[in-house]
Amino acid sequence: MKKLSLIAALSLFVLLSCDRTPGTLAPEEYGAWLADPDNGLYKSRKINGITLDARFLPAEYQAYRSYRPEQGVPFDSVVQSYKCGLAFQVTLQAEKSNVTYSDLMYYNVPDQQELSNRMRFLSFNIQEFITLTSDSTTYEPVLSNFEGYNALANKISFIVAFVLPEYHCGTFDSVREPLQLTFQDPYWEMGTNHFSFEKKVIMNLPKLSR
């Protein structure tokens, strides 16, 4: 009997240990929690000297970043405006000391006209190289933003948001298959990259304390 009780206690401990999601997080803690790869919402890989990152952006985190009390809009209303979409940030970054990719925006750009064409493509054609797949159906972003090029950090960033018929403002119809975010590199010779995000992790996010 004691042996069975011990086994049950150990099983409960393992289950509780596996659930690393806190109930609430302060704003200053939330960003760090999202950036921890162990929590399943931040993916990173290095290809040819370029670091390619993909991260899920929860509605409350987006709302906190954009909230302006002086505008008189309740915080909950701001959260609601983000809640029914699935948003991700995709970032490319390379060391300035990297001989090949010391300037990501100008990589393989022969002249000013080509640079203008690249800027235009990255600003208005994000759906051609960033998509989201769920249950064998691929979706283009309904909203997308080229955040620009940070020359000092040698970093390029995009934010994309998707609306899926199976996603109901916080819950999925099924969590069997993960979401797959795809970045099909248009310029930097990194090929096609897929990042998997578990739906059950997205459904079990911590609340933002304020």
Residue 19: per-residue pLDDT = 52
Which residues fall within 8 angstroms of residue 84, CB to CB, at 6 or more apart?
A: 163, 167, 168, 169
Say how far apart CA 42 and CA 35 lie, in whole Å: 6
Predicted confidence (pLDDT) per residue in 41-98, tens digit: 999 999 999 999 999 999 999 999 888 887 888 989 989 999 999 999 999 999 999 9
Domain boundaries, the chain: 24-208
What global pTM score does this model have? 0.88
pLDDT of residue 15: 41
Q: What is the mean pLDDT of the chain?
A: 91
| pLDDT for res 10 | 42
Buried b (16+ CB within 10 A) or exposed e, 142-164: eebebeebeeeebbbbbbbbbeb
For the chain, 210 residues long, the average pLDDT of each consecutive 10-residue run is 46 45 88 95 97 97 88 89 96 97 97 97 98 97 98 98 97 96 98 98 91
Query: Alpha carbon of 137 to those of 56, 57, 85, 106, 179: distances in Å?
Result: 19, 21, 16, 34, 10
Angle between helix 59-66 and 27-34 (nearest 10): 130
pLDDT at 20: 63
Side by side, the strands of the sheet bearing 130-134 are 137-139, 130-134, 179-184, 192-197
CATH of 24-208, one of 2.60.40, 3.30.70, 1.10.10, 3.10.450: 2.60.40
In DSSP notation, 127-146 reads GGTEEEEETTEEE--SEEEE
CA distance 189 to 29: 35
* pLDDT at residue 189, rounded to an integer: 96
